[in-house]
Structure 1
Amino acid sequence: MRSLRMPGRRAGAALLGLGLVAGVSVLSAPTASSHGYTDTPISRQKLCANKTVSNCGSIQWEPQSVEGPKGFPAAGPADGKICSAGLPQFAELDDPRGGAWPTTKVTSGQSYGFRWQFTANHSTTDFKYYVTKNGWTGTRALTRADLDPQPFLTVAYNGARPAMTTVHQGAMPSGKSGRHMILAVWTINDTANAFYACSDVQF
């Protein structure tokens, strides 16, 4: 079959080549990964998104994006930068605000539904929930030393994807009273990252 000769064949070939390069660039560009946050108990990033708390910076527009290195507590964000996942654009989440972050009232040892909202779900290793030690006042940025060393709740997913709204039913830690922080860590199965959410609570 005879091929048709079109005017400007070389120019057309050059344009086609550019189109292929552009297409490859689009295909190889990093795509948005999974994103999410806790809203029960309400996290600091969601308080900012709700405008319940002001002077939050850019986190108010993307509460789902607190993503940092996984492997907590052995790895992950540095002490003092845990609530922001070490992202400088979200540093407002680490600011203790003199202990003035709004709290959610909870009861020690009581069954509770820890709820996540996802804008994109992803293959998941697990979710882990940590709580601060007794005596924590919320007047300094969160460090590993502030937390009980073991999570009080772990929910394994073994690579499965969570529903877009997911609730983990579990017991609040026992023996707690007063002001505390609950740190929720969502570990992604097929990337090097995890998502972090800090929720201020009052037992």
Structure 2
Amino acid sequence: MKNASRKLAAVAAGVGIAPVVAVIPATSAFAHGYISAPMSRQAQCAKGLVQCGAVKYEPQSVEAPKGGRTCSGGSRFRDLDDNSKGWKVTDVGQSMNVTWTFTARHRTTNYEYFIGGRKIASVSGNNQQPPSTISHPVSLAGFSGRQTVLAVWNIADTGNAFYACLDVNVR
């Protein structure tokens, strides 16, 4: 009788946990993306140009709740927030084309860009799934010298966004 009770308890526990286990990975793996040009911090990590931990293996996974204002967005990839890592800087003019690469697409609210906490651009995603890559211009008028541009991909049907930082020298 004791063995039967233990088996019944184990099955009940497994059934209770199974739906949670099945839902969690599907939610976080449903959509992923990063900036491939100019080369974002996580793209630099993926290419081994800068040592930055686990993001090297999943540059498309810098996902965190909407509203973050750091390169990691507050995700587990905190190395992206470290300005002393020796990030490679890309020379750009008063505007630059930004290319997002998606490994899984998600309906998009918008793409936002910030320098020093100030929003410099917002591009609507029209609540549509993007193609596998998308590019759009971002004006850097009024800025010069080395800047870190925070880019945020706000997805439409969850409370999360994807984050990327670009280190640029505005000429």
Taking structure 1 as the reference length, what is the TM-score of the superposition?
0.69
Show the counterpart of 2:114: 130
- The answer to whether the 8 A contact 1:107-1:172 is kept is no
Q: Distance in 1 between matches of 2:139 and 2:148?
A: 12
In structure 2, which of residues 50, 56, 64 is the aligned counterpart of residue 53 of structure 1? 50
- The answer to whether the 8 A contact 1:185-1:195 is kept is yes
Alignment of 1:183-202 (within 5 A): 183-202=150-169
**CA apart distance, 1:25:** 3.5
- The answer to whether the 8 A contact 2:108-2:130 is kept is yes
Q: Distance in 2 between matches of 1:158 and 1:172?
A: 20
Alignment of 1:42-191 (within 5 A): 42-54=39-51, 56-70=52-66, 72=67, 76=68, 82-87=70-75, 89-97=76-84, 100-108=86-94, 110=95, 112-131=96-115, 146-148=116-118, 151-168=119-136, 170-191=137-158
Higher gyration radius (CA): 1
- The answer to whether the 8 A contact 2:71-2:164 is kept is yes
The DSSP-based 3-state class of the residue aligned with 1:130 is strand
Show the counterpart of 2:34: 37
Question: Identity over aligned residues, as a percent?
Answer: 43
Q: Which runs of 5+ in 1 are unaligned?
A: 1-16, 132-145
Alignment of 1:15-34 (within 5 A): 25=19, 28-30=22-24, 31=26, 32-34=29-31
The DSSP-based 3-state class of the residue aligned with 1:157 is strand
Q: Distance in 2 between matches of 1:127 and 1:182?
A: 12
Taking structure 2 as the reference length, what is the TM-score of the superposition?
0.81
Letter of the 2:127 counterpart:
G
Q: Distance in 2 between matches of 1:84 and 1:165?
A: 21
- The answer to whether the 8 A contact 1:43-1:197 is kept is yes
Q: Distance in 2 between matches of 1:65 and 1:152?
A: 24
Q: Distance in 2 between matches of 1:160 and 1:95?
A: 33
The DSSP-based 3-state class of the residue aligned with 2:99 is strand
**CA apart distance, 1:26:** 8.4
The DSSP-based 3-state class of the residue aligned with 2:45 is helix
Q: Which protein has the bigger helix share?
A: 2
Q: Distance in 2 between matches of 1:27 and 1:177?
A: 48
Q: Distance in 2 between matches of 1:147 and 1:26?
A: 37
Letter of the 1:153 counterpart:
A
**CA apart distance, 1:173:** 1.5
1:171-194 Cα shifts (integer Å, max 9, x gaps): 422121110011110001000100
Number of residues paired by the alignment? 155
